[in-house]
Amino acid sequence: MKKAIIYDLDHTLFNPKTIERDIFEPVFESLKEVELIVDYDLAQFKLDFFSISSNALIEKYFNDRSKERFIQCLRNMNPLPKLETYKDGFIVQEINTINYLVTSGIKEFQNNKIDALSIRNWFAEIYIDDPIDVEWSGKEEIIKLIMNKHNYDKSELLVVGDNAESEIKAGNNLGIETIQILRKGIKAADVVTYKIKSLNKLKMIANQ
Ligand SMILES: [Mg+2]
């Protein structure tokens, strides 16, 4: 019987590709105005924006000055319209555990998504690992912090996520059982305790 579950957000509970693409037009417009992506085709930038990580995007297109501008655009975005989790997202609330959300990304943008999903009250605590406004060395440090703060033994926890190199690796390193949710297009991890295709399976794992 597990006491607590630590969840990832993107591609675990929420498919970021379901955000209406037009929402980002003001961000693209603003970058065009100040000629930040003058060396690149805006169409290619838009494709990359929806397919590669923020860090990879920044590295490919921006220098230090333009990076700031781009990040400010994301931080200052208007509230997103209502969003939905994956269909099995409701399972989170059906399991009798304390839940934590540990997600990576621009803090304001992650918070924007969390509010548009109306899932803030699903979690006892929410941690956002911002790659620019750095507070922790990564998810492993955040999970360790949760363990120490609440005195959890590693056997009482589960880490649920999609990314073999992020939360799954962090959980493995800390000796916590890890569960990889294999959403569409996600590559199976080599080292992980369980691999599941739907969060429905999680109930059984958490209760055993
Ligand atoms: Mg993820």
Give me ligand 1 centre to Cα 37, in Å.
27
Determine whether 20 is exposed, middle or buried from the number of CB atoms within 10 Å of its CB (0-12, 13-18, 19+).
Answer: exposed
pTM equals: 0.92
pLDDT of residue 35: 64
For ligand 1, a single-atom ion, the residues with CB < 5 A are 8, 10-11, 162-163
pLDDT of residue 40: 63
pLDDT of residue 36: 63
Q: How many CA atoms lie within 13 A of 81 on its CB side?
A: 7
pLDDT of residue 56: 82
Number of separate helices (H) and strands (E) present in the chain: 9, 6
Give me ligand 1 centre to Cα 34, in Å.
32
Give me ligand 1 centre to Cα 178, in Å.
13
Domains of the chain: 4-15+82-207 (3.40.50.1000), 20-75 (no CATH)
Give me ligand 1 centre to Cα 107, in Å.
15
Give me ligand 1 centre to Cα 50, in Å.
14
pLDDT of residue 69: 82
Give me ligand 1 centre to Cα 10, in Å.
4
Segments in the chain below pLDDT 70? 34-40
* Residue where the block lists tokens 């918070």: 111
Give me ligand 1 centre to Cα 104, in Å.
8
pLDDT of residue 55: 76
pLDDT of residue 39: 58
